[in-house]
Amino acid sequence: MTQTPSKYTEAGVDIDKGNHFVSRIKDIVSSTHRRGVLTDIGGFAGLFAIGNEDLKNPVLLAATDGVGTKLSVAKLCNKHDTIGIDLVAMCVNDVIVSGAKPLFFLDYFACSALDLEVATDVVRGIAEGCKQAQCSLIGGETAEMPGLYQTEDYDLAGFVVGIGDRNALIDGSDVRVGDKIIGLASSGIHSNGYSLVRKIFFEELGKKVDDFIESFGCTVGEELLRPTRIYVESLTNVMRRFKIHGLVHITGGGFIDNIPRILPSGCAAHIKKESWPLLPIFSFLQNEGGVSEAEMYRTFNMGIGMMAVVPDENIEDLMHQFEANGEKPYLIGEIKSLTAGSEEQVVIA
């Protein structure tokens, strides 16, 4: 068919550029493929065989998430090769708390006009996140939507499917009074609360992304773009050897909204707030931003990205095992009976 000037391209959507993008990222995507992947990128759907999993009663689990306005910081820094790690992390960390392991990942990239360099960097980050999470990137969608997004804007969403044994899933029902809470250190803010972070740094304090902050030991941009930590490998290894009663991924809502999601009726989590080192970024936000302590604990992870509720008798061995798997574990609290007449399931003191 004879090629003619494209009205669609004039409208802002370049099909040829989209096809070139797919060709450009094929090797990046295939580098994440593990046993079970049946198709290469470019088809109408990604295929994954689950028969290789040695599970008596397999259950599929799925999660989806984005990275919020952390994307704005990536744009300000013109650095797009780590935001994909955040995207994967926010999804796979939600799956691993159920005791399942991620199998495959899909991404959605929407923009005004496709910038090949930016989009390729984003996919590189997604691929790196998938490798850290030991899952395969098997497909995605790239959408140009001029008029809906500004010229250099883009948005991301991620989708992960995992698998677990129904009889071994973790749902918090085993949590009991006397259990201890181990906190695993975060890498920083991760990917929540960035509307408030941006307001404090860029509107109220007038900071620039290349401003050096002595307490951080780096620039504002470098601190705010630290990738979200992925806990899949370490938790998978620990769960092979130890019983874990509950896991909590500390995301939007911080301690206050996330911990109760796994607590049985009548139980409360008592957190000792000085039992782990507070990262400089959180001290800065609270002090320089004038944020109350209560709001800090409801907005941010405060340096603890994942919590494990475990039997008291396994504490020392579990701590050593987490350390051996590259984590920084802290004994940060315990499960107690809910105070009579109180509905407060998280007590921080």
Residue 306: the pLDDT is 98
Residues 219 and 159 in one domain: no
- Burial environment of residue 44 by CB neighbours within 10 A (0 to 12, 13 to 18, 19 or more): exposed
Question: Considering all CA atoms of the chain, what is the largest pairwise distance in Å, rounded to the nearest integer?
Answer: 78
Claim to verify: residue 164 and residue 98 sit in the same structural domain: yes
Residues 206 and 276 in one domain: yes
End-to-end C-alpha distance for the chain, whole angstroms: 72
Domain check: are 194 and 318 in the same one? yes
pLDDT of res. 4: 56
Exposure of 287 by Cβ count < 10 A (0-12 exposed, 13-18 middle, 19+ buried)? exposed
What pLDDT does residue 288 have? 97
Tell me, yes or no, whether 155 and 35 share the same domain.
Answer: yes
How many domains, the chain? 2
- Contact (CB, 8 A) for 258 and 320: no
User: 230: phi > 0 → left, psi -120 to 50 → alpha, else beta; which?
Assistant: beta
Question: Are 279 and 333 contained in the same domain?
Answer: yes
Give pairs for 166-169: CB < 8 Å, separation 24+.
166/57, 166/58, 166/59, 167/56, 167/57, 168/99, 169/59, 169/98, 169/99, 169/100
The tokens for 155 are 């948005």
CATH of residue 90's domain is 3.30.1330.10
* Domain termination site, one of 168, 188, 210: 168
Integer Cα distance of 346 and 256 in angstroms: 6
Q: Which amino acid is at 236?
A: T
Q: Are residues 246 and 117 in the same domain?
A: no
Q: Report if residue 173 sits inside a domain.
A: no
- Which residues, in sequence order, are bridge partners of residue 329? 184
> Among all chains, which residue has been given the structure tokens 């090629």?
3
107 and 214 share a domain?
A: no
Token pair, residue 117, equals 């360099």
**Distance between CA atoms of 246 and 175, rounded to whole angstroms?**
6
Say what the pTM is. 0.94
**Which of 348, 190, 195, 347 minimizes the C-alpha distance to 281?**
190
What's the pLDDT at 152?
85
What residues have CB less than 8 Å from 43, skipping those under 6 apart? 139
Judge if 164 and 186 occupy the same domain. Answer: no
d(CA 192, CA 318): 28
Tell me the residue range of the domain where 82 lies.
10-168
Would you write out the chain's pLDDT as a tens digit for each of its 349 residues?
Answer: 545 556 667 666 777 777 778 878 887 878 888 888 887 777 778 888 887 677 889 999 999 999 999 999 999 999 999 999 999 999 999 999 999 999 999 999 999 999 999 999 999 999 999 999 999 999 899 999 988 888 889 999 999 999 999 999 999 999 999 999 999 999 999 999 999 999 999 999 999 999 999 999 999 999 999 999 999 999 999 999 999 999 999 999 999 999 999 999 999 999 999 999 999 999 999 999 999 999 999 999 999 999 999 999 989 999 999 999 999 999 999 999 998 778 899 999 9
Residue 8: per-residue pLDDT: 67
Q: 89 and 211, same structural domain?
A: no
Name the residue among 185, 182, 196 with its Cα closest to residue 226.
Answer: 185
158 and 294 share one domain = no
Same domain membership, residue 205 and residue 266: yes
Domain boundary among 113, 135, 168: 168
